Amino acid sequence: MEPVLNTQNTQESVAIDRILENHCQQAGALLPILHAIQDAFGHIPDSAVARIAGALNQSCAEIHGVISFYQHFRSEPAARHTVHVCQAEACQARGGRELTAHAERVLGCKLHEHSPDRAFGLEAVHCLGLCASGPAIQLDDRQHARVDPARLDQLLHQAREA
């Protein structure tokens, strides 16, 4: 009986090999490799870490350290939508903490996590530049000012329906 190959893992493996071949010889290759892998897969799969470490003669711990240090890198696929809640002082003074707590309750996750259905990721952002009209959020690529819990619920419902 012939073994069944997982074509997804094979395709992933080939893509990672290409990325490593394209970047390994350049100085400071780790960040370009991580960016390329995340661009290709939407996150950095666990299967890539040991291969990157081997190609760069580093430990897996060093690679994980870089991935976890930079907020941009993800170890698992992103949620369908991302909600950034401003945590700056101006937004906090206008109810930002309460809005964050409401978002956590409604979405069923804490900051830097995703909802159980992976529809929403909840992220903190230091400032969205809407200081005079906080609290502010960014839902995907669109900013919203003067967001209260009811408005957040409405925006989340609209995003789910889209």
Whether 1 has a pLDDT exceeding 90, the answer reads no
Tell me the domain boundaries of the chain.
7-69, 81-161
Distance CA 36, CA 24 (A): 12
Report the chain's mean pLDDT, rounded to a whole number: 91
Q: Specify burial of residue 24 (Cβ count, 10 A radius: 0-12, 13-18, 19+).
A: middle
* Average pLDDT of span 69-95: 92
Q: Which CATH architecture has domain 81-161?
A: 3-Layer(aba) Sandwich (3.40)
**What pLDDT score does 162 carry?**
86
Give whole-number Cα distances, 45 to 21, 29, 41, 72, 74, in Å: 18, 18, 8, 14, 9
Amino acid at 118: R
pTM flag (> 0.75): no
Quickly state the pLDDT bin for 60 (edges 50, 70, 90).
very high
